[in-house]
């Protein structure tokens, strides 16, 4: 048990050392760290979550990936014109996300976001991360249901369902209003309501982004969460 505690202390010390380097890089400017740093994490993690899937969908290679494809007969290979239009919409929504991140800084500070040292201990980060997950799922469920209301669906959320067999990058192929309420708000509702150290906000966004891309990928890979239900939802 002592060995375990020593290991955890070592990890905590390592994380604090790395965070100090980031603080020095941003000259301890909280606003710059949150706006630029969070936008960078948001964008880079989305790219990481998509690049491999995009390559497979456009080239059909490597061939071994195709056996994990759920809907094999739709949108494959991806039509170039449709793919580039999807990328254009996604680029707009990524820019919109960066603007929203900038605007949310005062709210995040008001609700207790910290950027300084020390980084929270691992057990605290784990509990907060679990809280972020629950709040994300709950808020997404209700907001997503709202977007499917007949009086709203045809104006906003219908655009997202143009992809009957979704591809990973289409995770944020959506109307701007849909993107704000069904994509952005669920990601940030946890950090806003629970308060958090910025380092955990970054980890949360990165993991959530990559997971969302996987859920829209149309590939059920071993050891990863299944996108089968989400595919069924798009077919409906």
pLDDT for res 71: 78
CA distance 35 to 234: 33
pLDDT for res 98: 97
How distant, in Å, are the alpha carbons of 60, 119, 143 from that of 208? 26, 20, 17
Return the closest-CA partner of residue 95 out of 180, 33, 166, 171: 180
197: left (phi over 0), alpha (psi -120 to 50) or beta: beta
> How many other CB atoms are found less than 10 A from the CB of residue 11?
12
CA distance 209 to 184: 11
What is the pTM for the complete model shown? 0.90
pLDDT in tens, the chain (236 residues): 667 767 777 778 888 889 999 999 999 899 999 999 999 999 999 999 999 999 998 888 888 888 888 877 666 788 889 999 999 999 999 999 999 999 999 999 999 999 987 888 888 899 999 999 999 999 999 999 999 999 999 999 999 988 887 889 999 999 999 999 999 999 999 999 998 899 999 999 999 999 999 888 888 888 777 777 666 667 66
pLDDT for res 77: 80
Q: For the chain, give every domain's residue range.
A: 2-235
pLDDT for res 134: 96
Please list, in sequence order, all residues whose beta carbon lies within 8 angstroms of the beta carbon of residue 93, skipping any fewer than 6 positions away: 172, 173, 174, 176, 179, 183
CB 78 within 8 A of CB 58: yes
Q: What is the DSSP string of 82-99?
A: HHHHHHHHHHHHHHHHHH
């Amino acid at each position: 048990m002592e060995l375990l505690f020593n290991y955890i202390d070592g990890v905590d010390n390592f994380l604090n050392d790395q965070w100090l380097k980031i603080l020095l890089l941003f000259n301890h400017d909280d606003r710059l760290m949150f706006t630029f740093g969070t936008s960078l994490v948001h964008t880079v993690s989305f790219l990481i979550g998509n690049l491999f899937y995009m390559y497979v969908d456009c080239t059909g290679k490597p061939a071994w990936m195709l056996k994990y494809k759920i809907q094999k007969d739709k949108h494959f290979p991806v039509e170039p014109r449709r793919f580039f239009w999807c990328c254009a919409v996604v680029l707009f929504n990524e820019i919109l996300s960066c603007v929203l991140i900038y605007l949310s800084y005062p709210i995040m500070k008001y609700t207790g976001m910290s950027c300084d040292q020390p980084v929270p201990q691992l057990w605290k980060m784990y509990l907060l991360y679990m809280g972020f997950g629950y709040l994300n799922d709950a808020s997404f469920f209700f907001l997503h249901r709202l977007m499917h209301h007949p009086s709203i669906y045809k104006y906003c959320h219908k655009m997202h369902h143009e992809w009957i067999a979704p591809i990973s990058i289409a995770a944020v192929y959506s109307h701007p209003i849909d993107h704000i309420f069904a994509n952005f708000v669920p990601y940030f509702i946890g950090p806003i309501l629970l308060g958090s150290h910025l380092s955990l906000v970054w980890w949360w966004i990165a993991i959530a982004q990559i997971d969302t891309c996987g859920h829209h990928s149309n590939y059920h890979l071993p050891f990863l969460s299944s996108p089968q239900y989400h595919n069924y939802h798009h077919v409906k």
